[in-house]
Every structure is written in structure tokens, then in C-alpha cells.
């Protein structure tokens, strides 16, 4: 029983961290950002409440199961949690000054589209990022094109457009700060956040 409570607590904490991560994102969008931020705050609060309710329901369900059934259910929940983490943790990358999708990026997006089709309640924020080369304005526009390139692919793959939001951070959130191609490549990416 102690392991299931710890897992439920961990799931709740992960949901809260995801909510905090989305709500603490740096604003780099035009005047429309303020209404979008309010909308995101409302969605984040609803997602947090939904995650808490789901965790409470899972705990109640687990309490009524036999030990073997409980272990199977916990294993299934852990596997699903791992799929969600993989969805968020796997980025797609772009060539210098490009926003077209490479074959590897399309394979990753196919997996993400399958996950989203299986989970119609999940909404996603796609963040476009660039390396440090180019002006801030240029990189914001390029990051926007990269995020929208990923969004359009997911929509063509059967994911409802209303479930996908995009934002560009340009060069403002690098994963690596060295001045070399091996580092710049990591920064030219689209990242995915579950909402």
C-alpha cells in the first residue's frame, strides 16, 4: 500500500511540476500573450484539479483490488507514465536556418501523434527554439515556423488542431551554451509540453 501512495504522490508532483513549467514560461509573444496567458492559467488549474481527481480515483480503485491486481494496475500506470515522459522528453531537431522536418523528426512526430490519438484529453504546447546565431527577431520568427511545422504534421496525422498550441522562444532558452555546431544542433529544436 505504501508504494502505491508514493507513486500517486509522485504522479501528482509531476503534474504540478508540468503545470508550473508551463505557467512559468517566458513571454516572448506579441500583445496577444496576455489573454493567452490567462487562458493557459485557467487550463493549468483545470489540468491540476483533473490530475488530483484522477490520482484520488486511482488510489481508491487500488484500495479495492487484490494484491496481484493492484500490482498489475500499478505496472500499467507506471508504463503509461513512462510513455508520457517520453512524449515530453523527446525533441525534434532542425538544420541551420531551416524549419522543414527531417525523416527522423517525422518518425518522432508519428509516435507523438499516436500517443495523442490514444489520449484525446491531452493538449500539447509546442515550443520552437533556435541557436544563438541571427538576430532575436529573426530567431523568434524561425522558432515560430519550427513549432508550426511540427503542429501541421501532427494535424495532418489526425490530431485535432484545437489541442495544439505553439510558442516561439527563439534563442532565449538554449540547452547548451558552447559556441560549436554540436551545441547549436541541440538548441535548434521543437519541444513538447503536455497541458
Considering the domain architecture, whether residues 81 and 125 belong to the same structural domain is answered as: no
CATH code assigned at 136: 3.30.1330.60
> In the chain, how many domains are there?
2
**pLDDT tens digit string along 151-194?**
999 999 999 999 999 999 999 999 999 999 989 999 999 999 99
Considering the domain architecture, whether residues 52 and 100 belong to the same structural domain is answered as: no
What is the domain range of residue 34?
1-89
In the chain, count of helices (H) and strands (E)?
A: 6, 4
**pLDDT tens digit string along 37-86?**
566 566 666 656 766 777 777 677 667 767 878 788 888 888 888 888 88
Across 151-182, b (16+ Cβ under 10 Å) vs e yields bebbbeeebeeebbbbbbbbbebbeeeeeeee
**Contact by Cβ (8 Å): 88, 192:** yes
Considering the domain architecture, whether residues 101 and 179 belong to the same structural domain is answered as: yes
Considering the domain architecture, whether residues 195 and 100 belong to the same structural domain is answered as: yes
Among 89, 108, 129, where does a domain finish?
A: 89
Considering the domain architecture, whether residues 25 and 113 belong to the same structural domain is answered as: no
Considering the domain architecture, whether residues 100 and 78 belong to the same structural domain is answered as: no
Amino acid at each position: 500500500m505504501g508504494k502505491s501512495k508514493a507513486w500517486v504522490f509522485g504522479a501528482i508532483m509531476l503534474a504540478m511540476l508540468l503545470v508550473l513549467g508551463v505557467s512559468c514560461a517566458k513571454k516572448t509573444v506579441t500583445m496577444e500573450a496576455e489573454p493567452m496567458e490567462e487562458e493557459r492559467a485557467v487550463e493549468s488549474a483545470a489540468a491540476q484539479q483533473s490530475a488530483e481527481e484522477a490520482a484520488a480515483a486511482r488510489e481508491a480503485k487500488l484500495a479495492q483490488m487484490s494484491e496481484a491486481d493492484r500490482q498489475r494496475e500499478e505496472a500499467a500506470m507506471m508504463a503509461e507514465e513512462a510513455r508520457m515522459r517520453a512524449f515530453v522528453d523527446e525533441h525534434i531537431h532542425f538544420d541551420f536556418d531551416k524549419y522543414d522536418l527531417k525523416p527522423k523528426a517525422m518518425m518522432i512526430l508519428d509516435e507523438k501523434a499516436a500517443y495523442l490519438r490514444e489520449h484525446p484529453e491531452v493538449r500539447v504546447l509546442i515550443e520552437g527554439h533556435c541557436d544563438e546565431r541571427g538576430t532575436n527577431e529573426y530567431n523568434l520568427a524561425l522558432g515560430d515556423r519550427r513549432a508550426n511545422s511540427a503542429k501541421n504534421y501532427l494535424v495532418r496525422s489526425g490530431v485535432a488542431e484545437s489541442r495544439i498550441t505553439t510558442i516561439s522562444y527563439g534563442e532565449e532558452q538554449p540547452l547548451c551554451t558552447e559556441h560549436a555546431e554540436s551545441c547549436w544542433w541541440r538548441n535548434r529544436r521543437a519541444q513538447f509540453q503536455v497541458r
